[in-house]
Amino acid sequence: MQLPLAQLLRAYIRAFSARPDVSIIDAAFAPPLTAEERAGLPLPPELDVFAETLGGVEFTWMFEQDKHNPDQSKGENGGRLAIPSIRNFAWHLRPSGVRGNFAARAVLDSMTPEGIGWWIHRANESPKEARTAFENANDCTLKPMDSLKAYLTMGARYAFVWYWQAGTGTGRGYYDRLRGASVPLNTSTAKIEARLVDVGLLPEEAAGLYKWLGASVVLLLHRDGSRTTPNTTSSSEKPPANTTKNSAVTNAAAKATGEKTAKKPAAAKATGEKTAKKPAAAAKATGEKTAKKPAAGKTGKKMA
List, as one string, the DSSP characters of 151-182: HHHHHHHTTTBTTTTTT-HHHHHHHHHHHHTB
Q: How much is the average pLDDT of 184-205?
A: 96
d(CA 227, CA 17): 8
d(CA 55, CA 41): 13
| pLDDT at res. 7 | 98
Confidence of residue 72 (pLDDT cuts 50, 70, 90): confident
Q: With 80 as the cut, is the pLDDT of residue 247 above it?
A: no
pTM of the model: 0.77
DSSP 8-state code for residue 222:
B
- More confident of the two residues 233 and 73: 73
- More confident of the two residues 98 and 264: 98
What are the phi and psi torsion angles at 69 (to 5°)?
Answer: -105, 110
| pLDDT at res. 9 | 98
Q: With 60 as the cut, is the pLDDT of residue 283 above it?
A: no
Cβ atoms of 6 and 153 closer than 8 Å: no
| pLDDT at res. 170 | 78
Cβ atoms of 112 and 283 closer than 8 Å: no
Q: How much is the average pLDDT of 139-154?
A: 93
